[in-house]
Structure 1
Amino acid sequence: MGSGQVTSTSELFDFQGKHVTVAGLGVSGVPAAKVLHARGAIVTVVNDGDDARAREQAAGLQALGITVRLGDGATLPEGTELIVTAPGWKPDKPLFAAAAEKGVPVWGDVELAWRLRGPGAAPWLAVTGTNGKTTTVQMLASILRAAGLRTAAVGNIGVSLLDVVLGDEEYDVLAVELSSYQLHWAPSLRAHSAVVLNLAPDHLDWHGSMEAYAKDKGRIYEGNRVACVYNVADKLTEELVREAEVEEGCRAVGFTLGTPAPSQLGVVDGILVDRAFVANRQKNAQELAEVSDINPPAPHNIANALAAAALARAFGVPAQAVRDGLRAFRPDAHRIAHVADLDGVAYIDDSKATNTHATEASLAAYESIVWIAGGLAKGATFDELVAKSAKRLRGAVLIGADRELIREALARHAPEVPVVELDRTDTGAMLQAVTEARRLARPGDTVLLAPACASMDMFTNYNERGDAFAAAVRELGAGA
């Protein structure tokens, strides 16, 4: 972990008269264009699509005097001095190659928000990782509120950082979720403290390689002032800390599900303990909360709680607020949500488990499982997931377009596990899937929807898929 005086680049950028190109309409592009225009920039919006929604958004911007070019996101407008891009635009787009050739900087919406913070703005406690970001940020916000601090969970969680930074409400500290896309386009972000929860292959089509993906995640540590929090069980997160250039005095702080070493948070006899933010951490530890205070107390969720606690403690939050905040926290729907118990079998909705890494954590939380899985694989492979989880599987019910990939992995690594494969992709398949899972389950088992796949082959999103599962369980319960 390199140290030294790192420039805190929150200097205000003078947009008056600057030619700024906004790449992409949508949830980040439209507000960015309006903000830049209001600050005197000469704004041109470029967008690949030219559909009805894009034309409607374009009309609203054009009414303000903003130029919009639909169906042409590849050409760099003449005179462009800065590009502000939607986070999803891939770095290999021709627009960015043209910008690099002319020395034009590219910012994302997070970078723009960072640059627009006023004097004395609230510091950011930042969270990224392949899985668990939203839960950790929400836990962190709950802990900060329990400490009496004015805070909000913002960023990739669905709350615009631009809106928060430019709004009238004042905050003491912000809990900020950041995706790898957002971090790629945020070169001057400097958090108070930050965590990379875990790293597994994801979005590699966007980043180009695992190395590039990890590098973008690691940007969250650059310039940290107090703590770079890493996952002791995921060595790559610790390597990213070692590579980061941080402020003098910033510390590396680990979290572990085991007994913590000095400068770590961990678990001892069902108690979350802190050996990082205490006096004489070689000998002392501070009790923070009990594992039973975490909802639900699954291993990966305990890890999320430890990461949130580490960031809160880095900000000076007392131990009691950690406990009170964790007790007050309620997870979002479709994140290991207990739906019902039928005939001694628990039915759990983890529709949010849309990749193998999240599903591995979900499967690890239960001893005997009838697994409902499948959907759009997005290029994923399932051998490692099945091999690690085989001993926990009572049976499997497979749905969705890419179910065959999971069936083949089960045949290779868990041939004794009974498998029901549903050759239908209509939304009504979920009731049949739950019915088949009920037939396979025994008292004490868990029927777990943890698809390891995206949902769009059968459902609008993972929320709708989880709702369909819950509705099917209730229908079976009503007819029991």
Structure 2
Amino acid sequence: MSVEASKSLDELNSWDANWKGLRVVVAGLGLSGFSAADTLIELGAIVTVIDGRDDQMNQQRAETLKIVGAHEVLLGNDKVQALPLVDGQQAQLVMVSPGWNPRNPVIAEAESKGIAIWSDIELAWRVQNRAGHTAPQWLVITGTNGKTTTVGMTESILRADGLKAIAVGNVGTPILDAVREPVDYDVFAVELSSFQLHYTHTISPVASVVLNLAEDHVDWHDGFENYKAAKAKIYERTQIAAIFNAADEATIKMVEDADVVEGCRAIGFTTDTPAVSMVGVVEGLLVDRAFLEERKTSAVELIALKEIGEIVPRHTAANAAAAAALTRAYGVHPEAVAAGLKNFDSGDHRIQAVARKDDILWVNDSKATNPHAADASLAAFTRVVWIAGGLSKGVEYGDLVAKHAQRLAKVLLIGTDTAGLREALAAHAPEVEVIDITDSAQDSEGAAPSGAQVMTRAVSKAAEIAQAGDTVLMAPAAASMDQFSSYAQRGNAFISAVSDLMDKTEQDK
């Protein structure tokens, strides 16, 4: 019997439900799309996968899915212009990968026909319920910036408390892979992008947080209000704690408007002295005034910020406070918060000090892919030679430049989409010299330089102009895909160029 004849999608809320015969189109063959297709095939659904890229990686993934039972895998740009039939009939469900926005012709057609559209997160929430297994609790995290750091801190704290925990979602392990592992996890620390939240409908986490909100991905969402609405969905049906940023009015309003489970508390985090029901900072100490009975008169000391790392700018302290609030809502001990934050390795490309020589600090913040992230980086230093630019994604730079104009010694522009940044600098920092590295790195015939060539030139120029006490900060405030394959490749290019520069100066002595 088909699912259409016997059950609605609302009844597909466990691994053991009757998924057999459900006709599904999986849009996208990246990590999350592959994982969703593989899961649905295992459940017995009839799965057709589509992707516009017909490259070697996707061909390999397609062959794997065909072997395990995919009905059809369609690759190439012509395959993603309309919603395909599945086994000769209309699809009952579309599983959408994060890159596919609502105006994509496949997604728009599905919406016009009233076909359900789910993210991999929605599917994971449903199928985690499985006979003989205990479903994990979810702590969920979103925000314009700081998601990956906060989810990593959260995972580290949970593990320090002896819990079986894993960071999943928009980071590292696809969530459906974790669901299918032969491990009964206690907790998932789930990083959620606005793309995933847009098509997620029924999750009910233990605790949730929006770290911050700033203009980003307005092209995908067709406007900032739609982006904000997608982020706000994370608070819906939260059970224990809806956690907001006390310095961000938008997150406070989101919590006020959220339809949470009865008894759910609103908990704030701050880098200032916390009020009652907040986690915050007092004299360099991270403290909890939320999850103790005597919170009106006292606080629990969690950790000294200096124990977290060598450089702890305000946004890092905020991320730590948010992670502490999430995990304390779950019930971890204060000692585990301290141990987890001490043990956490933030990794590369996020305000990463890569060299210090002649009283000049070289910092890689390639993860600063939008103005909000770059704002946090610039705020951490006094005088900056700023390497910036890339793929702007339609954002505005005026506020960022106006706020930090007094910090800027020089600006070195990389990237191919720098018009908006250049205009903002001319309007709000007219006395700051701006040097276009991409143009100057072209060869004698005017050929476009590679990303590595541009970065090498930027580092060389920065070395010429930086003075003692300066920070050379590579915080592009833009995406990387114009000249690099990822922010990581861009950050590695900066690290390599700085390393080569240091080696050369040693040899020249």
Instruction: Report the TM range for the smaller structure's normalisation.
Output: over 0.9
For 2:314 and 2:165, the matched residues in 1 are separated by 27
Change beyond 3 A, Cα 1:181–1:404? closer
Alignment of 1:295-314 (within 5 A): 295=309, 296-314=311-329
Q: Secondary structure of the residue that 1:246 maps to in structure 2?
A: coil
Question: Could you tell me which of 16, 19, 22 is aligned with 1:15?
Answer: 19
Cα contact 1:87–1:109 (8 A) shared by 2: no
Give the residue type in structure 2 aligned to 1:314. Answer: A
Q: Which runs of 5+ in 2 are unaligned?
A: 1-9, 442-448
**CA distance in 2 between partners of 1:400 and 1:442 (Å):** 25
Equivalent residue number for residue 72 of structure 1 = 79
**Distance verdict in 2 for CA 1:462–1:100, change over 3 Å:** closer
Match of 2:444 in 1: none
Larger CA deviation: 470-479 vs 90-99: 90-99
2:475 is aligned to 450
Aligned residues: 474
CA contact (8 A) 1:9 1:188 kept: no
Secondary structure at the counterpart of residue 341 of structure 1:
strand
* Residue of 80, 95, 105 corresponding to 1:84: 95
CA distance in 2, matches of 1:318, 1:339: 34
* Structure-2 change in CA distance of 1:254 and 1:16 (3 Å): same
Question: Which residue of structure 1 lines up, in the alignment, with residue 5 of structure 2?
Answer: none
Q: Structure 1 residue 94: deviation in Å?
A: 3.6
Letter in 2 for 1:172: D
Q: 1:125 to 1:453 in 2, by over 3 A?
A: same
- Specify the alignment match of 2:358 in structure 1: 343
1:112-136: CA deviation from partner (whole Å, max 9, x where unpaired): 1111103521101010001000000
SS at match of 1:230: strand
Q: Identify the range of structure 1 (54-63 vs 134-143) with the bigger mean alpha-carbon deviation.
A: 54-63
Task: Quote the offset at 1:111 in angstroms.
Answer: 0.9
SS in 1 for 2:476: coil
Contact 1:195 1:228 survives alignment (8 Å): yes
Q: Residue 377 of structure 1 contacts residue 454 of structure 1 at CA under 8 Å; is this kept in 2?
A: yes
Residue by residue, what CA displacement relative to the aligned partner does 1:127-182 show, whole Å, maximum 9, x if unpaired? 00010000000011111111111111111012110010111022111111111111
Secondary structure, in 3 states, of the residue corresponding to 2:79? coil
Deviation sequence 1:193-236 (CA, Å, 0-9, x none): 01000111111111112111111111111111100111111111
TM score, norm. by length of structure 2: 0.89
Cα deviations by residue, 1:378-422 (Å, 9 ceiling, x for unpaired): 222221111001111122222221334323322221222233322
State the alpha-carbon separation in 2 of the partners of residues 17 and 10 from structure 1: 16
Contact 2:100 2:107 in 1 (8 A): no
CA spacing shift, 1:98–1:439, aligned 2, 3 Å: closer
Aligned to 1:4: none
Aligned twin of 2:123: 112
Q: CA distance change for structure 1 residues 9 and 33 in 2, over 3 Å: closer, same or farther?
A: closer
Among candidates 325, 341, 355, match of residue 370 of structure 2: 355
Aligned-pair CA distance for 1:10: 4.8
Q: Distance in 1 between matches of 2:456 and 2:105?
A: 46
Q: Is the 8 A contact 2:218 2:395 kept in 1?
A: no
Question: Using the alignment, how far apart are the partners of 1:380 and 1:433 within structure 2?
Answer: 23
- What displacement does 1:96 show? 3.5
Instruction: List aligned pairs for 1:259-408, cutoff 5 A.
Output: 259-295=273-309, 296-408=311-423
The corresponding residue for 2:182 is 168
The reply to whether residue 145 of structure 1 matches residue 153 of structure 2 is no
What percentage of aligned pairs have identical amino acids? Answer: 49
Shift of 1:429: 2.5
Tell whether the 8 Å contact from 2:12 to 2:19 is kept in structure 1 after alignment. no
Q: Which deviates more, 419-428 or 388-397?
A: 419-428
Q: Determine the C-alpha separation between the residues in 2 that align with 1:113 and 1:21.
A: 16
Moved more, 289-298 or 68-77: 68-77
- For 1:46 and 1:459, locate their aligned partners in 2 and report how far apart those are by CA, in whole Å: 26
2:254 alignment counterpart: 240
Contact 2:35/2:174 (8 A) holds in 1: no
Using a 3 Å threshold, how does the CA distance of structure 1 residues 382 and 42 change in structure 2: closer, same or farther?
Answer: same
Q: Could you tell me whether the CA contact under 8 Å between 2:217 and 2:393 is conserved in 1? A: no
Q: Which residue of 2 aligns with 1:121?
A: 135
Q: Distance in 1 between matches of 2:371 and 2:329?
A: 31
Flag the 1:80–1:272 CA change in 2: closer, same or farther, 3 A: same
- Residue 82 to residue 421, structure 1, CA distance change in 2 (3 Å): closer
Structure 1 match to 2:4: none
